[in-house]
Structure 1
C-alpha cells in the first residue's frame, strides 16, 4: 500500500504531461486587417528554406500539412487556385521538432509519507529529481498578401509529441494544430476601449 501511494502521484503527473494540448499563437499586421477580410482565393508558396530534419522535410509531411490547411480554408469558403491565377493570398509553412528536458522533483512534501529511514537517505527535503526528455513539434503558417508581397498574418502551433516525434505518425495532432491556428484567421480588428 505504501508503494502504491508513492507511485500513483508520479503516474498522474506523467499522464497529465502527456495529454497536453496545442499551444497556439498568432500575429498580424493591423493595417492589413481590411485587406485580409477581402481575401477569397489562395495558392501555396514554394518553400525556399527547408528543414534539415527528415521527420519534417519529406513529401508525406508536406502533403499532410497542405491537406489539413486546404480542408480548413475550403470549408470556410476560400478557393485554392494555381499560383499564376492571381490569388489574393499565398500560404506557406515551416516546421521544427526540438528535443527538450524537463526536471520534476519528488519528495516527502509531494504526497509521500515521511519515513525516518528514507528521510535520512534523501536529506531534510527528501525525494529526488527526475529528468524527462521529450520532443516538441512546432508548425508555422504564413499568409502573404500576393499583390503587396508582404507577410500579413502568421500562426504558430506547438505541441508535445510525446513518444512519437514524427509528425506524420499522428496526423490528428497536426490537424488539431492547424484547426486551432486557423480559428484566428482572418484576424478581427482590435476593439477600442
Structure 2
C-alpha cells in the first residue's frame, strides 16, 4: 500500500504533464477583417514594461520577437521599422501565475496489496474481499502557468483589431531551449489563426 501511495502523485503528475500543452484563444474586431486580410508589412511596438522580471526582460523580449518574426515572415509578411509606414503593429504581454491542482483519488484500483501480500499470496482475503480496500486520498500540487498575449494593432487607425492568448504550464527549472520551444509552440498556434476567419476561430 505504501508503494502505491508513493507512486500515485507521480502518476498524477505524468497524466497532467501529458495534457499540459499550450492552450490558445483568439479574438478580433469583425469590422476589420477585410483590412486585416490586406496587411503585408508590420512593425514592433516598444518592448513592454512590467513588474515581474521573470517575464519583462530583454531576453524574453528577444525570444518572443524571434518566434513571431519567424512565423510571420514564413507566411510572407515583411517586418519594417515604425517609420516605414507599416500596415499593422505587433506587441506582446505576459504573466506567470502560481496555481494549485487538487486531485482526489480512490486508493483501491483492484490490485492486491497489504502488509502480507506477496506474488505468491492469494488475491482475496479471508472474507472474499480484495486486500487494500481504502478510502480516497487527496493530493495537492502547486504549479506555474505562463500566459503570452499577442496584439495586432491597425497602424493607420491606431486601434487593436486582433488579440491572441496562449497559456501553458511551466515546469520548474525549465531550460532555455525548452522555454524557447514553449514560446515557439504558443506563437505558432496563435498566428495560425491570423488573419481571422470562421475556420480559424
Instruction: Assess same fold via TM > 0.5.
Output: yes
Asked whether the 8 Å contact 2:106–2:136 carries over to 1, the reply is yes
Matches within 5 A, 1:21-60: 21-47=21-47, 50-60=49-59
Deviations 1:129-169 (A, max 9, x none): 21110000000000000001110000010000122468776
Other structure's SS at 2:15 match: helix
Other structure's SS at 2:93 match: strand
Matches within 5 A, 1:14-163: 14-19=13-18, 20-47=20-47, 50-109=49-108, 126-163=135-172
Tell me what 2:124 maps to.
none
Partners of 1:127 and 1:189 lie apart in 2 by 45
Q: TM-score, normalised by structure 2?
A: 0.80
Partners of 1:88 and 1:108 lie apart in 2 by 59
TM-fit CA distance, 1:106: 2.4
Asked whether the 8 Å contact 1:135–1:161 carries over to 2, the reply is yes
Tell me what 1:119 maps to.
none
Consecutive unaligned residues in structure 1, runs of 5 or more:
116-123
Distance 1:108 1:50, change over 3 A: same
Q: Provide the alpha-carbon RMSD of the alignment.
A: 2.7
Q: Which has the larger radius of gyration?
A: 2
Asked whether the 8 Å contact 2:107–2:137 carries over to 1, the reply is no
Q: TM-score, normalised by structure 1?
A: 0.83
| Aligned structure 1 segments of 4 or more residues deviating by more than 2 angstroms | 2-13, 106-115, 164-169
Asked whether the 8 Å contact 2:153–2:160 carries over to 1, the reply is yes
169-178 or 93-102, which deviates more: 169-178
TM-fit CA distance, 1:107: 2.5
Other structure's SS at 1:35 match: helix
Asked whether the 8 Å contact 1:44–1:91 carries over to 2, the reply is yes
